[in-house]
Structure formats: C-alpha cells, structure tokens
Amino acid sequence: MHAVSPRQLEVFVAVATLGSVRAASERLFLSQPAASMALAELERQIGSPLFARERGRLRLNDRGRELLPLTRELVERHAEFGRRAEGSVAELTGDIGIGASNTVGNYLVGDLIGRFATEHPGVALRLGVANTARIAQGVLDHDFDIGCVEGPVNHPSIEARPWREDRLVVCARPDHPLAGKARLRREHFAGERWVLRERGSATRALSEQALAALPEGKVVLELDQSEAIKQAVIAGLGLACLPEVAIVDAVQTERLVVLPTPFLDLKRTLSILLHRQRYRGAVLEAFLASL
C-alpha cells in the first residue's frame, strides 16, 4: 500500500462525521470532486470500502468503524505536531461532536459548552440531543466524541465520569387536589394519573423507581420530551416527575407547582461519557478541562 496522505485521512474523518462528501468538502475547503477522489483513493489503497450508502447518506461499515478511532488519532496528532512545530501557542482548531441527553441538551447546554466555546472559537461544536440510551450508543459508534447524560451507563467500552448533581421533582397543576394538602404521604398518590418520558430515557428510569415506592397509579401518556410532558401536566392530564431545571419557568409563572415528596429519592448524577478507544488530543482535553 502506498503512503496514505493526511488529506485522505481528513476526508475520511469528515465524511464519517458529517455523513456526506459534499458536507466534508465544505468543512475542509475542498472541491467535492477532490474530496471524492481522496476518499476513493484511500479505499483503493486499503482494498475495501469504508462506507455503505443509505438514503443518500454515507454510513460507516464495519471496516470504517474499525479504522475511524485510529484515523482520528492520526489526524489529531498531525494537527498537534503542527501546533508544536510553530513554536508558539496556536489557537486550537478542529471539531467536537457532543451528544447530550434531553435535560442537558435543552436546559444545561450553556453550562456544558459555553465556557469552551468562548475560550476556543476556532473549534467547531456539533451538538446532538437524544435520550441517554441513544447518546451512549452514539459514543460507542463514534458518532459523538463525548456524551453527557442523565442516567448510569455501564459498558466496558465506555468511561463514565461524574459531572454534576441533578434532581427530579413531582409536579402538578396548582389546582390539583394534592397541591392543597399540607403534608403529603405516600398513600395520597394512590390511583393518580402519570405522564412519563419514553423508555430508554434516564428520566423515565428514575420516575419508575419513584412510582415503585408509591401506591399503584396509572400511566396515561408517554412522551419523548420534557417540554411536552410539562405542557401535558399544565393541561391537567396528570402528574409527572421532571427535572427541576425544566420547570423553573412554569413554577415562576404559577402554571405548575412542585409537590413536596421527601419520602422519594429523586437525586441523580449527570455523567460525561468517553469511548475508551477515543484518542484524547489537545481539543478533547481542553473540552474536558472546561467542565
């Protein structure tokens, strides 16, 4: 095999990250034919394709997934060599794909990326928001360089680091019968209607733990966004366990109230996820330091 060029590796990583040759060419300031030729030559030298085409997008095949972590490391080490060879502190450049579970992506994104974005304007940030299970899978598949999720993730290929504490609260409309009780007890929740997050969500898992400690109720609705659940509770469809940060505005405007439930453990730890095979170059280390 002839020497593989840094440009070919950059094109491979960009296509894997962005899903198309056109987007990769724009990111790398190349013409689309030049990017296509670089990828084709790399695949020819390797002796096998790296992608499968699905609905107009390029998806990594098994060979591509195997080689992507090493390729990213080579590209980042090459960039690091350039910065050190300049003999000065050069501005960090590159990109980071961040996967955030819904609470983090919708309510804590400023805390997650704000400082880093301000200090390193030369780094492009890509943020994807989904539930915890999907973010963890994205880290495993190298779709994301780093994840930030609400629930525990146990996988031998993933390193999970605690980031910060968070908690859920039980919320209701202000005119709900339980909102007027001076001191709530478990038995007061018998037969209550609940609106829950979808399965695979960390909020759903913790909500189910809480419901297991209460008398039997009825799940009347499942939704995949905290905002949608909040609106359902405001509409009087039932009670919900939601992240405290998600309902601050509704409580302040008296559309929701928090029901005091000291008998429920609704605390949790938000975690940072890293693939153990992911090379942690200067850009990723700077991001981790910003947290």
Domain assignment present for 181: yes
**pLDDT reported for residue 251:** 96
CATH of the domain at 4: 1.10.10.10
- The three-state (H, E, C) secondary structure of 81-137, written as one string: HHHHHCCCCCCCCEEEEEEEEHHHHHHCHHHHHHHHHHHCCCEEEEEEEECHHHHHH
Closest C-alpha to 193, from 209, 215, 169: 215
Mean pLDDT of 96-123: 92
Instruction: Read off the pLDDT of residues 110-136 as tens digits, 9 standing for 90 and up.
Output: 999 999 999 999 898 999 999 898 999
Residue 159 lies in a domain: no
In angstroms, how far is the first alpha carbon of the chain from the final one? 42
CB distance 78 to 106 below 8 Å: no
102 located within any domain: no
Q: Is the dihedral of CA 141, 147, 153, 155 positive or negative?
A: positive
Residue 107 lies in a domain: no
Flag whether 280 is in a domain.
no
Q: How many domains does the chain have?
A: 2
Residue 286 has pLDDT above 80, yes or no: yes
Q: Is the pLDDT of residue 1 over 80?
A: no
The answer to whether position 95 is within a domain reads no
- In a domain, residue 139? The reply is no
What's the pLDDT score for residue 35? 93
What integer pLDDT is reported at residue 181 of this predicted model? 87
In a domain, 109, yes or no: no
What's the pTM? 0.79
pLDDT digits 0-9 by tens, 134-162: 999 999 988 899 999 988 899 999 999 99
Residues 23-75 have pLDDT tens digits of 889 988 899 999 999 999 999 999 899 998 877 788 889 899 889 888 988 88
* 169 plus 263 within the same structural domain: yes
pLDDT band at 22 (very low <50, low <70, confident <90, very high): very high
Range of the domain at 74: 1-90
Of 24-28, 160-164, 171-175, 233-237, the least confident:
24-28
pLDDT of residue 2: 63
Q: Which CATH number is 175's domain given? A: 3.40.190.10
Q: List Cα–Cα distances, 17 to 59, 182, 211, in angstroms.
A: 10, 54, 40
* 3 band by pLDDT with thresholds 50, 70 and 90: confident
Mean pLDDT of the chain: 90
- Pick the last residue of a domain from 90, 122, 147: 90
pLDDT confidence of residue 58: 87
